A and B are shown apart, each in its own frame.
Chain A
Amino acid sequence: MIRNGISQTLALEIEKRTKINVFGCYQCGKCSAGCVFSYLMDTPPHLLMRLIQLDMREKALSSNTFWGCGACVTCSFRCPREIDVLRVINTVRSIAIEERVLSRNNSLKDVPIFNEIFMNNIIGNEHVNEFLLGANFNLKSLKFFKDISLLPVLYKKDKLTARKKASTRNIKKIVEGLKGNNGI
């Protein structure tokens, strides 16, 4: 891949952002063996590491590994080479988002929808409003009746009201700063 006139591999790009050297991985597979979410992934964590090592850029960026990841930290924790695999997974996701690469597998299509709603929720409120999070998710993912049976009990047990909207707008400012910086 040519960026700014210089050829740059995916491994190098990850190293620049995180200082993690993916060539330390010797493919033992412990990360994937311990991953409770790997059954959701077309490319389990150790295979994603291999794709990066081989610079199979498109294949890595269009995998659904990072949409299936629940960030439970088991992979990084158990890596005998002490590679922060979760950070690598997240960095690949960031690059995929920046380059607008679409996932080649559609089974986790609601996860990016959820993430976007989550971000908008905290940008608007400075904190999470769980009711709005659920309601907006149902609207955007066209699952209008999801969890609707939980609503009466959530209401009755006062689990829907949230902290008062904060007066500060720090998160909004940061996100705007990042946008100006060629960020998200």
Chain B
Amino acid sequence: MEYSYYPGCSLKSSSKDYAESVKQVSDKLGITLIELSNWACCGASVSHIPEESLSLALPALTIAEADKYSRDIVASCAACFNRLKSTHLLLGKYPEKKIETEKLIGKNLSVKINVKHFLEVLFEEVKDWDSIIIKKLKGLKVACYYGCLLTRPNDMIKDGKSEDPRMMDNLMEKLGAASIDWPFKTECCGTSFGLSKPEVVLKLSGRILRSAKKSGAECIVVACPLCHSNLDLRQSQIEKYNNLKFDLPVFYFPELAALALGIDYRNLLLDKHIVDPMPLLRRKDLI
């Protein structure tokens, strides 16, 4: 199936590894992601934007662009996905907001096409994983970390259990990994406080890493570039701050899907990770 693809800013800079894994997996599965040529930043978080009309106008620019092609929009960043989908739902619910936003961006909005996260796309597109998996992720204990924006509010990913989402866990289990039960899968990592007040991230992400480690995880799986930055790039700062050692590699979910689908690990830009995932993958005989 064909989708309009919205990569978002992070996938073009700090998370090129995520972008590459999405590309490799969608190519392998015959999912066509056509990048929108004229996309603009979604605003990332409503907290960064001084007023609501602007926080709606930014994603609306991309929704209007995608309207031209009548294909559903796919985002792989949890924040982009949330901003696009929340805006889409709000404009559908309040006609006067839609008119105000249309005036502001100077474009009409149909609010008809859907917004999906790449995780949902994998779920919908692949019915029978068993027949396409080349190498099961046997014995790999993963902590699936959803963060905030993939599951909140209720109508984000179609999972049905926002307090205890299962979609990523189900995917990991289909790939042959063991997804552990742990209490921090939807707690916030501290978002952009990494810049404006770093102690917040060191504290909140520290709790997440500690809980994953304590629950027996060998790695964490994420679906958001900022969660990845906080848990991977800042892991050594977090270790120092909390006086603990974690050494937990953090994967994007399509990276593990790619390995299971038999895609060569050298195509995956895993060397961009800060916590080196290679020793774990070698130990589990996955590369």
Contact = CB atoms under 8 A, between A and B. Distances in A.
Interface in A46-68: 66
Contact of A163 (B13, B153, B192, B196): B13
Contact of A171 (B15, B52, B58, B188): B58
Contacts of B259: none
Interface string A87-124: 10011011001100000000010110111001100100
A128 B9 contact: yes
Interface in A18-50: 18-19, 36-37, 40
B29 interface: no
A171 B59 CA distance: 10
Contact of B196 (A98, A114, A128): A114
A74 to B, nearest CB: 7
Given A108-B197, A111-B196, A163-B9, A72 B105 contact: no
Interface residues of A, number: 66
Contacts of B55: 90
B237 to A, nearest CB: 8
B154 A37 contact: no
Contacts of A166: 38, 40
A127 B50 contact: no
A12 interface: no
A170 B40 contact: yes
Interface stretch (B41-49, B68-76, B114-122, B127-135): B41-49
Interface in B212-233: 233
Contact of B50 (A77, A86, A170, A184): A184
Contacts of A90: 46-47, 52, 55
A92 to B, nearest CB: 12
B176 interface: no
A173 B106 contact: yes
Contacts of B43: 122
B152 A77 contact: yes
Interface in B14-43: 14-16, 38-41, 43
14 contacts: A71-B47, A72-B149, A90-B55, A114-B192, A129-B13, A137-B196, A157-B271, A157-B272, A161-B13, A162-B12, A163-B9, A166-B40, A174-B57, A178-B54
Given A37-B188, A173-B106, A178-B104, 6 more contacts: A70-B193, A73-B153, A74-B188, A90-B46, A111-B196, A161-B13
Interface of B: 9-10, 12-16, 38-41, 43-55, 57-58, 61, 94, 104-106, 148-149, 152-154, 162, 187-188, 190-193, 195-198, 200, 204, 233, 271-272, 274
